[in-house]
């Protein structure tokens, strides 16, 4: 294995890039703007230019670079074809091919959905180490999930595996989700879902004193209030836990992962977010997976660049690392 590799997290707001040693050490990370004009056609050239500039400043040549891994915010086929990426302005695009045209010297190129990449990152150096199957749930503006089985990201036949944000959890809902359906998990348990839920609970519990009656209701405010046992915030997160717990038992019934990783901006709430999910999961879960562990993501916004690099290693490699690690633990 060559000594260096690059991990790229291509987002609609910014592009994050990391230079790693292939031993796993993050040497340098930086962010460049995401120029979305002209149907996102500047994005890949900008990435390649930025990597070239960084290589020059570190006196690296392509001979010492194992490859480039990339996470993108949309469905990605097995061969790295992005099937449509609204946030970047892309239609169908074979990313490895497009990057190779820009820089033929890149030896390995791997592309995956950003949440899938983040899941691999958390399994490699984050909250879900020592597992070879995991489901990571990212709670933020939307709800995404990454599914990794036998250290491989799980794509699905139309790239929609892990779209649990659009799992229908309430067929009786009368408001529409952004996807056009009614009753999606995202409508209740995302950032905006939590705020909506808080407004409802405030109305339903007019007698309850709550700091949420003053000032702007944000997910952060809800979490902070819950930490101080605010009755409204506690009720909001209890309802959140019921729906998340039930949704994740459906996921466990299907893929039965070794571990659930809770990430995304909302996961910064820590235990007031994790605990209700875990409580209701255990209540609703079938006995064969009732004890599936729940962990918080640890790499934050860096999970994507870690996982993108992780994709460049084959599975045998990781299994060796895993065994090595376990042996070390036994000493």
**Is 164 a residue that touches its own copies (CB under 8 A)?**
yes
The footprint of its own copies on residues 57-96 (CB under 8 A) is 75
Q: Which residues pair with 85 in a beta bridge?
A: 90
In 3D space, the residue among 231, 291, 235 whose CA is nearest the CA of residue 260 turns out to be 291
Of 44 and 169, the one with the shorter C-beta distance to its own copies is 169
Please state the closest distance from residue 218 (CB atom) to its own copies, in A: 27
Task: Tell me how far apart the alpha carbons of residues 199 and 135 are, in angstroms, rounded to a whole number.
Answer: 30
Phi-psi region of 300 (alpha: psi -120 to 50; beta: other; left: phi over 0): left
Cβ–Cβ contacts within 10 Å for residue 221, how many?
A: 19
Of 210 and 249, the one with the shorter C-beta distance to its own copies is 249
Among 3, 33, 156, 325, binds its own copies (CB under 8 A): 156
The footprint of its own copies on residues 244-263 (CB under 8 A) is 246-247, 249-258
DSSP classification of residue 28: E
Task: Tell me how far apart the alpha carbons of residues 306 and 97 are, in angstroms, rounded to a whole number.
Answer: 22
Of 262 and 285, the one with the shorter C-beta distance to its own copies is 285
**Residue 138 in tokens:** 């990212």
The footprint of its own copies on residues 131-150 (CB under 8 A) is 133, 147, 149
Please state the closest distance from residue 184 (CB atom) to its own copies, in A: 8
Of 309 and 311, the one with the shorter C-beta distance to its own copies is 311
* Gyration radius of the chain over CA positions: 21
Which residues sit at the interface with its own copies, rule CB under 8 A?
75, 133, 147, 149, 154-164, 166-168, 171, 179-181, 183-184, 242, 246-247, 249-258, 283-289, 292
């Amino acid at each position: 294995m060559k000594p260096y590799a690059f991990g790229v997290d291509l987002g609609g707001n910014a592009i994050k890039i990391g230079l790693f040693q292939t031993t796993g050490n993050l040497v340098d990370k930086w962010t460049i703007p995401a120029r979305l004009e002209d149907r996102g056609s500047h994005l890949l050239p900008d990435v390649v230019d930025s990597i070239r500039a960084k290589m020059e400043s570190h006196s690296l040549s392509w001979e010492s670079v194992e490859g480039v891994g990339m996470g993108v915010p949309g469905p990605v086929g097995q061969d790295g074809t992005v099937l449509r990426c609204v946030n970047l302005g892309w239609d169908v695009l074979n990313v490895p091919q497009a990057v190779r045209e820009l820089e033929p010297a890149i030896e390995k190129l791997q592309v995956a959905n950003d949440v899938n990449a983040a899941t691999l990152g958390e399994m490699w150096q984050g909250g879900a180490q020592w597992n070879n199957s995991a489901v990571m749930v990212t709670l933020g503006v939307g709800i995404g999930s990454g599914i990794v089985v036998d250290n491989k990201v799980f794509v699905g036949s139309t790239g929609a595996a892990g779209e649990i944000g659009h799992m229908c959890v309430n067929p009786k809902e009368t408001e529409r989700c952004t996807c056009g359906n009614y009753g999606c998990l995202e409508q209740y348990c995302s950032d905006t879902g939590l705020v909506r839920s808080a407004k409802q609970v405030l109305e339903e519990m007019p007698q309850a004193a709550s700091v949420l009656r003053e000032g702007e209701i944000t997910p952060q405010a809800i979490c902070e209030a819950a930490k101080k046992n605010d009755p409204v915030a506690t009720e909001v997160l209890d309802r959140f836990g019921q729906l998340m717990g039930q949704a994740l038992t459906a996921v466990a019934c299907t893929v039965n992962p070794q571990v659930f990783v809770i990430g995304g901006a909302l996961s910064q709430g820590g235990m007031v977010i994790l605990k209700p999910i875990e409580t209701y999961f255990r209540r609703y879960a079938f006995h064969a997976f009732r004890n599936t562990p729940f962990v918080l993501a640890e790499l934050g916004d860096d999970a994507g660049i870690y996982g993108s690099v992780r994709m460049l290693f084959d599975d045998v490699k990781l299994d060796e690392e895993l065994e090595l690690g376990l042996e070390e633990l036994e000493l």
